[in-house]
Amino acid sequence: MIVPRTSREEILGKLREKVAARVPLFIASAGSGLVASLLERAGADCVNTFSGARLRANGMGTMAMMWPILDSNRQTLDYTEQDILPALRGDAFVCACLNANDPLKDMTTVLRRCLDMGVCSVSNIGPSISYVDKDSEIYRVLTKSGITFQNEIDMLELAREMGHVTVGLAFDEEDSLALVEGARPDVFCFHAGTTRGGLRGYDSGETIEDTARRTEEVYDKVRAIDPDVMLIAHGAALETPEDAQYMLDHTSGHGIWTGSSTERIPIEKAVLETAQRFAGLRWSR
């Protein structure tokens, strides 16, 4: 088959048109071709791929991508090429979430491979040093060994120069400002924390009001650096469509990014409920 191709100019044109029309942008993660095709059919603007989504499709939590069990970039590139791209019609573009701290790969080569396979958008989430608490010993050890957030900023800056639509992501105010200042991403997502809900979600106890407040505080400061950046919310108490509606109504962003909310949690619920009905069948006589 021939995978549909797009371009940075075409993608940004569509996104900016929606922003101008005040229609929320919708980015969603997919760990399988089936989920990707359903997301596209539902109206997602972007299907993002990363090793955490693939592991979620296998019943693990997102943070399993931090374990020493896989080559994150290889997993992302392989399943994006083999499972995701062939499943899409071209209505949604694909954003590959890359590990910018991969010591065994030249990121120029990785970014070029993405372009060659038909992916012209990348993000720095897969995985990010930001998943590790800054006040922890392991964060200090990783940083000392060269695993840094600056590498993620540099990768996004290079990606934009090479013609990618860049989706920058950060977990706190300090990193958010550094990323937007240094990489000037086309889209910025404030990651408020691991999404709650379902079998593998983590509930920190934060309310959707808290998530919206923290997100808006970062939006205000990011916009002061780059007034044109498109702003996306993700994570923490943003679990359901109702939560997403609250975020749209109580922040000044342009849309939402879902992961578990449109991938893992719906699958858990639908498969379990349907299978239980089948398992509960008995002969009528």
Q: How far is CA 37 from CA 88, 155, 241, in A?
A: 6, 28, 20
Domain-embedded: residue 283? no
How high is the pLDDT of residue 199?
57
* Omega before 127 within 30 of 0, i.e. cis: yes
**pLDDT, average across residues 226-255:** 96
What pTM, to 2 d.p., does this model score?
0.92
Give the pLDDT confidence of 107-133 residue by residue, as tens digits: 999 999 999 999 999 999 878 999 899
Domain-embedded: residue 209? yes
Domain-embedded: residue 3? no
Q: Where does residue 205 rank: exposed (0-12), middle (13-18), buried (19+ CB within 10 A)?
A: exposed
User: Which CATH number does the domain housing residue 135 bear?
Assistant: 3.20.20.70
Tally of CA atoms within 13 A in the half-sphere of 134 that contains its CB? 9
What is the C-alpha to C-alpha distance for residues 226 and 25, in angstroms, rounded to an integer? 18
Report the chain's mean pLDDT, rounded to a whole number: 93
- Cβ(129)–Cβ(148) under 8 Å? yes
Q: Name the band, by pLDDT with cuts 50, 70 and 90, for residue 58.
A: confident
Work out how many domains the chain is built from and give that number. Answer: 1
How high is the pLDDT of residue 204?
65
How high is the pLDDT of residue 200?
58
Which residues span the domain enclosing 36?
8-270
What is the C-alpha to C-alpha distance for residues 32 and 36, in angstroms, rounded to an integer? 6
Give the pLDDT confidence of 174-229 residue by residue, as tens digits: 999 999 999 999 999 999 987 755 555 555 678 999 999 999 999 999 999 999 99
Q: Which amino acid is at 112?
A: R
**pLDDT, average across residues 151-160:** 98
Domain-embedded: residue 169? yes
What is the C-alpha to C-alpha distance for residues 154 and 152, in angstroms, rounded to an integer? 5
Percent of the chain residues topping a pLDDT of 90: 77
- Cβ(25)–Cβ(240) under 8 Å? no
Domain-embedded: residue 66? yes
